[in-house]
Structure 1
Amino acid sequence: MINFLKNNPLFSKVAGINLFSKIGDRLFYTVLLTIAASLPKGNVAVMIVSVSETFPILLSFFLGAIADKKKNKVHLLIKNSFVRTAMYLCIGLLFRYSYTVFLIFLMSLLNFISDLSGNYSSALITPFTKTLVQVDDMEQAQGIISMTTQLINVLATFAGSILLAIFYRSIIAYINALIFIIVGISYFLIHPKLITVEKNITVNTNENTLPTIKKILNYYFIIVPI
């Protein structure tokens, strides 16, 4: 794996930045659940948090189909990172108010938008992976991404629990915002190389989004007739 990463430096940077952003996806989850469970109407609050974390995953098919049709993917990656920064800065400010179910709803909504932007960014990155890696190495590249993503999710959730015991909850929101600032700056630093790569990516703007989604679902589940 080490040799593969050394031989594909730009892929390694892009994958590394995307994985780093996934820390922000999971880091705050424990905080939200802890606050939700402590409220008088804890069951409702926990359900709201769970939906905000789960629903972006369910929308991944739609996001992938939309991302495939987008031009200027590099600029969208940078913008998404700063949008996510703004989301967690807002969450940090919300901690000034008393904890209520409505407050959890607002935090979960911002967290939902951030996670949605994160999944959209991952979909934007997929065409770069296919271009940066040789066809024969694609299986290994996807294996590395899958394995490290699962590892990051576990470690980020664990790190969130530790930080919750050390810092105020608002500080963890600001740490998340800092993560996405770093992600945005990292994409900006390599964006000239990515723009060059993007010129070789074919953007299919002719096919409608809905048929594309059906094809994706049919490919993975073989249940949706086209």
Structure 2
Amino acid sequence: MKKILKNTTYLWVLTADMLSNFGDVVYYLALMNYVLLVPNSRLALAIVTFSEIFPSFMGLFTGYLADKTVNKIGTIKLTLLFRVVLYLILGFCMGFEPALWIVVVAATFNVFADFAGFYENGLYTPLGLRVAPKEEREQYSAFRKLLTEQPLKIAEQPSQTEQKTKGPGILASFKQAIVELRKIPEFRLVLITNPLINACGAILYPILVLLISEDPDLVFLNVETTLALTILIFFIGHILGSTLVFTLFKKTSMVTLEVAATFSLLGVFVGMLLHQLPIIFFFLTTMGISSGASGPKFNAKFVNSMPEEQLATIGGAVSTYFMLGQAFTRLLVSGLVLVLTVDQISGLFLTATGLLVLYVFYWLARNQKTPQNQSV
């Protein structure tokens, strides 16, 4: 760890990543607050949710593009500048009276900002892997996640040298990624549960925004504070999970953490259906802890198992696979918010998560072992 702290280049891009991610969180929080100010908040929420479908398919292309980029540091600077310009323009637009057209502009800008963000994430990892011994990559990944507060990042790759390498095409990489991951026992459950957890987790915040708009009693102090606390609590749990990778969760398996995340997601939907903010906050914390701890383990196992010259391309394919469910649920919710009550939507996803929990029980029983103390 001392080596990573002495590497000024790595710390510079890590700081830039941290500020970029913080900006993304603030932007999303401001956007959701703005949605509640628009007269037709349900339609505004549907537009924002629909716009978030497109990033689900970006990882495959941006990972491939990141592998082909030679000047990674210079490109990272350009992506940061591009996003700053987008946010400045959007900030100017939001100075006008709240209106639906501004929501459309914000949703469009969000797609471009997400594309730049995915591409940026695909460019970062080489700098870390240059100073990360193979046996310590789990701790390096945890260190980065601890500072950047990012949920599970898949599209990470090692340094790309100037030597030309011929890898598989984008679609071939998608198939290759799934085949390679299925060869690793720890990934078999993750390949099923993670896309479904991502799918249900992706619409937690839009549902909560709708819940707050229809149930003023759910608000803690005010709407802005409630929404900010929702994000803050998850990230605090995420930071705690990333920290505990070094100690408490050092020998805990990905399977154990994946099971914990599944049950936590179920608890969040129970809290939403009951309109109980304490229950929602508690299970958001446990979900943050489990995802914060599982991310470094997945990343370390992933970068040590895949061919390095194709890691971003394969990683982008895996990222796309894990996010396909998000595209479906966001498309579904963007329509459901216009026709169903928030309780009906919560009940629908509670049922889906309950079925996922039953599958986890089935998987554990079929493998005739519990995930406890199974080291990754």
TM tier relative to shorter chain: 0.5 to 0.7
Structure 1 counterpart of 2:173, one-letter code: T
**1:124-143, aligned counterparts within 5 Å?**
124-143=123-142
Cα shift at 1:77: 1.1
Structure 2 counterpart of 1:16, one-letter code: T
Note if contact 1:67-1:124 (Cα within 8 Å) is conserved in structure 2: yes
The alignment's TM-score, normalised by the length of structure 1, stands at 0.66
Q: Flag the 1:148–1:30 CA change in 2: closer, same or farther, 3 A.
A: same
Partner residue in 1 for 2:173: 212
Q: Flag the 1:45–1:140 CA change in 2: closer, same or farther, 3 A.
A: same
Note if contact 1:19-1:149 (Cα within 8 Å) is conserved in structure 2: yes
Structure 1 counterpart of 2:75, one-letter code: L
Cα shift at 1:7: 4.6
Partner residue in 1 for 2:90: 91
Identical pairs, percent: 22
Cα shift at 1:141: 0.7
Gaps of 5+ in 2: 152-157, 182-186, 193-316, 318-376
Partner residue in 2 for 1:149: 148
Structure 1 counterpart of 2:55, one-letter code: P
Cα shift at 1:58: 5.0
Q: Flag the 1:107–1:140 CA change in 2: closer, same or farther, 3 A.
A: same
Matched, 1:67 2:66: yes
Aligned residues: 179
Distance between the aligned counterparts of 1:201 and 1:11, measured in 2?
20
Q: Flag the 1:65–1:217 CA change in 2: closer, same or farther, 3 A.
A: farther
Q: Secondary structure at the match of 1:132?
A: coil
Q: Flag the 1:4–1:23 CA change in 2: closer, same or farther, 3 A.
A: same
Distance between the aligned counterparts of 2:168 and 2:133, measured in 1?
27
Distance between the aligned counterparts of 1:82 and 1:139, measured in 2?
30
Q: Secondary structure at the match of 2:124?
A: helix
Q: Flag the 1:213–1:131 CA change in 2: closer, same or farther, 3 A.
A: farther
Distance between the aligned counterparts of 2:124 and 2:160, measured in 1?
14
Cα shift at 1:200: 4.1
Q: Deviations over 1:56-86 (max 9, x none)?
A: 2553243223211222222211211111111
Structure 2 counterpart of 1:130, one-letter code: L
Q: Flag the 1:15–1:213 CA change in 2: closer, same or farther, 3 A.
A: farther
**1:46-65, aligned counterparts within 5 Å?**
46-53=45-52, 55-56=54-55, 59-65=58-64
Note if contact 1:88-1:111 (Cα within 8 Å) is conserved in structure 2: no
Q: Based on CA coordinates, which of the two structures has the bigger radius of gyration?
A: 2
Q: Secondary structure at the match of 1:127?
A: helix
Cα shift at 1:140: 0.8
**1:102-121, aligned counterparts within 5 Å?**
102-121=101-120
Cα shift at 1:149: 3.2
Structure 2 counterpart of 1:81, one-letter code: L
Note if contact 2:76-2:123 (Cα within 8 Å) is conserved in structure 1: yes
Note if contact 1:39-1:100 (Cα within 8 Å) is conserved in structure 2: yes
Distance between the aligned counterparts of 1:118 and 1:99, measured in 2?
27
Note if contact 1:69-1:204 (Cα within 8 Å) is conserved in structure 2: no
Note if contact 1:77-1:124 (Cα within 8 Å) is conserved in structure 2: yes
Q: Deviations over 1:164-219 (max 9, x none)?
A: xxxxxxxxxxxxxxxxxxxxxxxxxxxxxxxxx96747664543222123333443
Structure 1 counterpart of 2:32, one-letter code: L
Partner residue in 1 for 2:24: 25
Q: Secondary structure at the match of 1:28?
A: helix
Q: Flag the 1:134–1:8 CA change in 2: closer, same or farther, 3 A.
A: farther
Cα shift at 1:98: 2.9
Distance between the aligned counterparts of 1:214 and 1:39, measured in 2?
43
Q: Deviations over 1:79-129 (max 9, x none)?
A: 111111110111022124332222101012112211221121011112222
Structure 2 counterpart of 1:17, one-letter code: A
Q: Secondary structure at the match of 1:59?
A: helix
Structure 2 counterpart of 1:90, one-letter code: I
Note if contact 1:25-1:118 (Cα within 8 Å) is conserved in structure 2: no
Please identify which structure carries the higher helix content.
Answer: 1
Structure 2 counterpart of 1:139, one-letter code: E
Cα shift at 1:222: 5.5
Cα shift at 1:132: 2.8
RMSD: 3.0
Q: Flag the 1:217–1:105 CA change in 2: closer, same or farther, 3 A.
A: farther
Distance between the aligned counterparts of 2:166 and 2:50, measured in 1?
32
